Amino acid sequence: MSRSSRAVSPDESPVNRDGDPLSSARPLVLEASDLVKRHRSSGFLRSRASSDTPAVDGVSLRLRQGETLGLVGESGCGKSSLARLLTAVDRPTSGHVEVLGRRLDQLDGRALRAARRNIQLVFQDPYTCLDPRMTVGAIVREPLLIHRDPAPRRDRRRRVAELLELVGLNPDHADRRPHEFSGGQRQRIGIARALALRPEVVVCDEPVSALDVSVQAQIVNLFTALQRELGIAYVFISHDLAVVEHMADRVAVMHHGRIVEQGTVDEIYDHARHPYTAELLSSSPAPLP
């Protein structure tokens, strides 16, 4: 984007700065181009009126191996819809998503399920993201049953124990059910499940917002440690600017379904160019003394 066009109408044009703090030599693991998602409100006997503003409106982003992209914005800005598009839970109205160079948005059935392995989702609500009827061991084992190759049958038990240990849970608790765990521990279970298939990319949709402050830090630390250990790339979605700043290499600011500004943490937090970013920064609680 040229400087002049931004000055004319700042709300229309995204501010894109390709300041890439990581070496561009690292391979791209996730690439989204011009993603648009309109929610159809149609049905039998109901008017098929075209819906108004799309939830996601022309979003493009790229993620390199081992990198964290912070995605900030307020409720209703389309962050969660975007997360569902990136992970192929929903299908975009237009645009495409590539994971490890493979397009997800055109695949179907078995091929889609196989391709999805490389991109996993961590949810906000530690209470609804785990099946309450399954034991923790069964929850973490499920991905290994669906995809047979990562662990042969005899190794599964050991692999589940490894995963639980990796996220800081006691493997001896594998036969307990989710309701016996605290919010922070459940979030760890959800992370273990997401990591079972050794994904390259993990999309975290507000993973710490439902947690107590003293537990948030544990989970944030877990995410950073896992990235260092396993080289995962994160799309870290949050409304909490302080947490995103701590986690992210680059930050994208989302507003009304668009990414209005993208750049490194320093560029965004110290030299915000888009008025919306500036407003967001000024209204977030002052850093503690």
Q: How far is CA 202 from the centre of its chain?
A: 6
Residues 6+ apart with CB under 8 A from 270: none
User: What residues from 55 to 74 belong to the interface with another protein (CB under 8 A)?
Assistant: 74
Residue 142 CA to residue 138 CA, distance in Å, equals: 6
Counting contacts by CB under 8 A, is residue 183 touching another protein? Answer: yes
Interaction of residue 89 with another protein, rule CB under 8 A: yes
Among residues 17, 26, 147, 256, which is the contact residue for another protein, using CB under 8 A?
A: 147
For residue 183, give both structure tokens: 């919010």
- Closest to another protein by CB, 59 vs 191, is 191
By CB under 8 A, is residue 264 in contact with another protein?
no
Tokens of 196: 């079972």
201/126 Cα distance (integer angstroms): 20
Query: E strands of 115-200, at which residues?
Result: 119-122
Distance of closest approach, residue 236 Cβ to another protein, in angstroms: 12
User: Per rule CB under 8 A, is residue 121 in the interface with another protein?
Assistant: yes
Among 60, 65, 93, 224, binds another protein (CB under 8 A): 224
Whether the CB-CB separation of 189 and 181 falls below 8 Å is answered with: yes
Q: What are phi and psi of 153, to 5 degrees?
A: -45, -45
List residues near another protein by CB under 8 A: 43-44, 74-75, 84, 87, 89, 113-114, 116-117, 120-121, 123-125, 128-134, 142-143, 146-147, 177, 179, 182-185, 190, 193-194, 196-197, 212-218, 220-221, 224-225, 239, 241-243, 245-246, 265, 269, 279-280, 282-289
